[in-house]
Chain A
Amino acid sequence: LSIVEGNMPQSTDLLQGTLDVLILQTLAPGPMHGWGVAQRIQQVSKEVLQIGQGSLYPALHRLEYKGWIQSGWGNSENNRRAKYYSLTAAGRKQLERELESWDRLSLAIGLVLGRIKEAQA
């Protein structure tokens, strides 16, 4: 997973677990295959977050082993067999928890960096 800033690609490791919450969030609306997940994250982040398959697939498998997402084979838009992932009930709960802690964390970091005024918080 790398963050691309403008034309100068600067690779930074995201916090452990951030990719997981991104994937869970992306899968929240409905089932999606791996390619779709990567494209959606890239799209939504306005091309800032590009997820290589080397990170994506191990993460998908990890989440599946944890029981937060499940997989099944289905047909893709262009009628090819593809593996679709969807959130499980446990995954939905996990997503809520992760979002909550992300909110807390980003608020805290924002406060420290002075980007958010306390009054606003």
Chain B
Amino acid sequence: MIQQLLTRLRFLLRRPQPAELDEELQFHVDQAIQANLAAGLPPDEARRQAMIEFGGMERTREQCNEQRPGWWMGTAAQDVRYALRGFRRNPVFAITAVATLALGIGATTAIFSAVNALLLRPLPYKQADRLVGLTSVWPTRHENVLISPDFVAAQSAAKSFSQFGGYCLSNGDNLTGAGGAVQVSRANVTANLFPLLGVMPQLGRNFLSEEDRIGGPLVILLSDRLWRDRFHADPGIVGKAATLNGVAHTVVGVLPAHFSFPDPAAEPDYYAPADFDQDTTVSFKAGVWMVRVIARLRPGASMEQAQAEMQAFFDARAKGYPAVLAPWSDGRKIAAEPLQRAMTGDDRKPLFILLISVAAVLLISCANVANLQLARAISRRHETSLRGALGASRLRLIRQFLVESLALSSLAAALGLAIALAVTSLVRHAAVLEGPQASLLGRTAQMLRLPFGKLSAVIEVDGWVLAFTVGLALITTLLFGLAPAISGTRSDLRNALQASGSRMTSGRQQRLLRHTLLVTEVGMAVVLLASAGLLVRSFVNVLRYDSGFDPSHTLIGETHLQAGVATLHGPSAAWPAQRFRSFMDGVLLRLTALPGVEAAGATDALPLDGRTGGVVVFDGVPVPPLGERPFACVTHVTPDYFRAVGTQMFAGRGFGSADNASSLPVAIVNRTFAKKFFAGDALGKRFRTNAGPDHEMEPLNIVGVVDDVRHDSLLGEVQPEAFLPMSQVSALFRVKFVLRIAGNPALLANALRGAVAAVDPEQPVFDIQTMDQRIGDMVAQRRLTMLLIACFAMLAVVLSAVGVYGVFACSVTQRAHELGIRLALGASRGGLLRMVLMQAARLVLLGGVLGLGAAWSLNRLLADLLVGVAPHDALSLGLAWGLMTAVALLAGTLPAADAARIDLISVLHAD
């Protein structure tokens, strides 16, 4: 067997020896002549008889060659060489086809690599398919969290899970020690979380269950990143102390370098035990934490069982909730889903829509190249017929066509892969390219990376993506190659050979095929354009929403003023009031003095930060029962804050230096607050709130009214909001600075950091960015989806226009003779132009109508992504149709004009 293989291999490698074969056959003929002579024939006759007997020498030679193993590969190579020669002879065709396909394949591959990395590839944890995330879903929103008493109760009760872990995220700790102060992010994890994921520390150990309790030891696990950056990868780190918020914590381990925390929004610098209260009654004495859940299905348990069990469990738990939590429990559905799905929930839909759009572009490319191939097949019919007449079988001819198509798509796939590689590496290395002086490349990279957050690091071209691209090359080959191959080789030999090459026109069937392809192209382009229009309008609507502040020329930065233990339950580690006040005064003084700064303010919650606040009650009105008291955002600000963020004062006065700890407690409210609680007339009125660090419910006097500012999101509803002077609270934990700057705000980042460090070198400032950047980040995914679909739509329009041009240019060339005769018989040149243009217009209109119909029914898929515009928005649909029709007709005008310019003499002379 092996020997047989070796023999075959030897022959495969050895070149054929034509001389040997000739000699062998000649020997045979000579022997036959000898035999005939011996039989007594005269020499001439002996030779003649031998030759007759022998038959065709060439055929035998050919057949002997065909016996060679791998012979067909040789002819395939022949086909490829022939194809490449054809491309060289007709470079315009080859370049157009390859470029068209490469764009389609490249874009599809790039989008697929994101889909693959984010949605298809298993998460890098032990038996990741058994990991489950729990999500609370309401009709209008969903949260990936449970409240901690529920979580603790579920931990021991859940039967569908073998392990039930969870974590809370926080970004509020100052790490001090060698190398200055930095702000570090933390996750408080249950002791079973890392074992559940199958993660073992590279140094030390995981948390012990006895460390995960209230009042447990101060132990932490470091991420590999923090260990390398701050502890010089010290191999003896386990057992040493790290100073967090001024308190020593013992390092018990370092997580492995390749570990990635299973939360798309966070990659914590270090981990501490969760220390949840084991009391499972829901009350607010001990505080309630929002816990994100990761659980492992028990062997044999199904996702549906887990889902049903959790729904019943939480329905029962909701009965024990106090009235305040009614909005939290009413209509709540618990969704148990694979962790991957839970993690990428919001990212799935845009990605799939992008994949569909890009596939449509690829289909248009295929239709275009198929049309080019068809046109080429018609002008090559003479050649094809000749080859057929010389003995090439139909199958061989079809194979020749397909090999050509495969050569085209392989070239295109290689180029497309290069495009995808460039895009994905741009996304992965975006962090390197970003910076204050970001180049165009850096900005592009950032735009592509932001929507995926830290997940962008895993977007790459791997084996699956390669396989996908190869599959695309093969599928596209069949898509654009098969029809031309079959129809191009179906020829009536006699007619084709008789007709001169230039007079060849396409048959009825081929014309139908080409027109169908064209109509499909135009239709798909209209669908893409309409979708792009809807997304662009939505995006404009999002940005136009009146946010109540002016994000331009604004720089922001955050710092956390804390001293204390980095646990969930640590004693409120606020600074002493005196230290807080002198710190704030010192920093604001320095900030105001910076060159270019027009106003410097500070707050504990910027616009769009999400709502923080409490209930409000009013003197002279009976206090409603718990759970029915109205909510208001409560924000602490310094006097210049409103000027710094650009929020307008409507009535009354702002805060001043006279509002201090010993003066009358005052407040400024927004217009919604004034309208909702005081029917618009709030000045001089009083209210009380439980929000803020002091919880005294002392009466606050309203001295001013400001414009509404959104807190939930750019599209969220405006909440009633009260602003309190920062100078009248004891101390705050989170402080955000806002600078309004005359010039480029980004240039003052270092000055802001320096001003804070000059007052307190232990205090790191982080998340320094311009307000424009921050809003840009918030709409990054929406913007990317919109831009990509808009790009795909434009590509689709251009490709379709090229398609229209190609089809009619070719048809005019082929019909030159007919047009000439029409002209000779008295048709006017304008009439010829109209005739060709009308034909194009019929197809374009048909495509447009079909596209509108498809867009009408398909755009519902986009509904979730739309803001302030209906899926059946007439403007978007109409514009899409109008633009496509105009461009396509313009493309059709060029060949029509050629038809009108036809030179009668040369056409008639051509015969």
Contacts and interface: CB of A to CB of B under 8 A. Distances in A.
Interface of A: 33-35, 38, 52-54, 57-58, 61-62, 65-67, 76, 78, 80-83, 90
| Residues of A contacting B: mostly | helix
Given A58-B60, A76-B27, A65 B67 contact: yes
A34 B59 CA distance: 17
A80 B69 CA distance: 30
9 contacts: A34-B24, A34-B28, A53-B60, A57-B63, A61-B64, A62-B67, A80-B30, A81-B23, A83-B20
A53 B25 contact: yes
A48 B28 CA distance: 20
Contacts of B28: 34-35, 38, 53, 57
Lowest 6 CB-CB distances: which A-B pairs, in order? A67-B7, A35-B31, A58-B63, A62-B67, A61-B67, A83-B24
B27 A82 contact: yes
B7 A65 contact: yes
Contacts of B66: 58
B14 to A, nearest CB: 11
A53 B55 contact: yes
B81 interface: no
Contacts of B20: 83
Contacts of B24: 34, 57, 82-83
Contact of B59 (A54, A61, A81): A54
A67 B4 contact: yes
Contacts of B69: 65
A67 B9 CA distance: 11
B739 to A, nearest CB: 83
Contacts of A53: 25, 28, 54-55, 60
B139 interface: no
B8 A65 contact: yes
A61 B34 CA distance: 24
B570 interface: no
Pick from B24, B27, B54, B55 the residue with the most CB of A within 10 Å: B24
Interface of B: 3-4, 7-8, 11, 20-21, 23-25, 27-28, 30-32, 34, 53-56, 59-60, 63-64, 66-69
Given A35-B32, A66-B8, A83-B20, 9 more contacts: A34-B24, A38-B28, A53-B25, A57-B25, A57-B28, A57-B63, A58-B66, A66-B4, A67-B4
Given A35-B28, A83-B27, A58 B67 contact: yes
Contacts of A65: 7-8, 11, 67-69
A80 B27 contact: yes
A54 B31 contact: no
B55 A35 contact: no
A67 B8 contact: yes
Nearest to B69: A65
Contacts of A90: 3-4
A58 B64 contact: yes
A87 to B, nearest CB: 14
Nearest to A89: B3
A66 B31 CA distance: 27
A23 to B, nearest CB: 13
A76 to B, nearest CB: 7
Contacts of A38: 28
A34 B29 CA distance: 11
A78 B34 CA distance: 10
Nearest to A50: B53
A32 B769 CA distance: 91
A66 B59 CA distance: 22
A26 to B, nearest CB: 15
A38 B29 CA distance: 12
B7 A66 contact: yes
Contacts of A83: 20, 23-24, 27
A61 B63 CA distance: 9
A61 B67 CA distance: 6
A66 B3 CA distance: 10
| Residues of B contacting A: mostly | helix
Contacts of B32: 35
B66 to A, nearest CB: 7
Contacts of B56: 54
Given A33-B27, A62-B67, A65-B69, A54 B4 contact: no
Contacts of A82: 24, 27
A57 B59 CA distance: 11
Contacts of B63: 54, 57-58
Pick from B8, B59, B67 the residue with the most CB of A within 10 Å: B67
Contacts of A78: 34
Nearest to A33: B27
B9 to A, nearest CB: 10
Contacts of A61: 64, 67-68
B55 A54 contact: yes
B27 A57 contact: no
A33 B24 CA distance: 9
A89 B30 CA distance: 31
A58 B7 CA distance: 17
A112 B335 CA distance: 73
Contacts of B3: 67, 90
Contacts of B68: 61, 65
Pick from A65, A81, A83, A90 the residue with the most CB of B within 10 Å: A65
B71 to A, nearest CB: 9
B10 to A, nearest CB: 9
A52 B55 contact: yes
Contacts of B11: 65
B60 A54 contact: yes
Contacts of B25: 53, 57
A82 B24 CA distance: 7
Contacts of B27: 33-35, 76, 80-83
Contacts of B21: 57
B64 A57 contact: yes
A99 to B, nearest CB: 19
A44 to B, nearest CB: 17
Nearest to B29: A53
Contacts of B60: 53-54, 57-58
A52 B3 CA distance: 31
A76 B24 CA distance: 12
Nearest to A36: B31
B26 to A, nearest CB: 10
Nearest to B54: A53
B851 to A, nearest CB: 56
A54 B56 CA distance: 8
Nearest to B63: A58
Nearest to B53: A52
Contacts of B54: 53
A90 B6 CA distance: 13
B794 to A, nearest CB: 56
A90 to B, nearest CB: 6
A72 to B, nearest CB: 11
A65 B66 CA distance: 11
B5 to A, nearest CB: 9
Contacts of B7: 65-67
Contacts of B8: 65-67
A71 B28 CA distance: 15
B437 to A, nearest CB: 67
B299 to A, nearest CB: 53
B671 to A, nearest CB: 92
Contacts of B55: 52-54
A2 to B, nearest CB: 12
A86 to B, nearest CB: 14
Contacts of B31: 35, 76
A35 B7 CA distance: 25
A112 to B, nearest CB: 34
B58 to A, nearest CB: 11
A94 to B, nearest CB: 10
A85 B67 CA distance: 16
A76 B20 CA distance: 16
Contacts of A58: 60, 63-64, 66-67
Contacts of B30: 80
